[in-house]
Amino acid sequence: AAGAQAPDPLTAAVAAGLRQGRSVGEVARAVGLGARQLHRRSLAAFGYGPKTLARILRLQRALALVRTGTAYADAAYAVGCTDQAHLAREVRELTGTTLGGYLAGIGHGAEDARSGTAQPSGDGR
């Protein structure tokens, strides 16, 4: 660790902006970088590009909401997914499993996932 380079000071600002749900373009402008430069710095800092980081952070926000009892559809809407199916695709692509399966696998909401009590509200959001 002593020989490691100091972290890029912009990466904290990039992560914070994306964590707030801002678009990659918005974050790039806010930190004063072009899209390609932001992508290169993100690869170096996080191991993947800013869009993938934004997807991961959005998934984390959705999971936090679901853990508090928010219905899947409501959590999807709150984090900016177009609908619950969009959130379901994101979960499957990023984790390789369903939202209920993921929550059960980490030991949170396993009963809800099995019983369906944390399932969508049915209002189509």
Q: Do 72 and 66 form a contact (C-beta atoms < 8 A)?
A: yes
Tens-digit pLDDT profile for residues 22-34: 999 999 999 999 9
83 C-beta neighbours (distance < 10 Å), count: 14
> Which token pair is 7?
């972290």
pTM for the full predicted model: 0.76
Contacts 24+ apart (CB under 8 A), 23-26: 23/54, 24/50, 24/51, 24/54
- Give per-residue pLDDT as tens, 70-107: 999 999 999 999 999 999 999 999 999 988 888 888 77
Tell me, what's the pLDDT at 26? 94
Q: What is the mean pLDDT of the chain?
A: 84
Determine the pLDDT at residue 122: 41
Please name the residues in contact with 21: beta carbons below 8 A apart, sequence gap of 6 or more. 58, 61, 79, 80
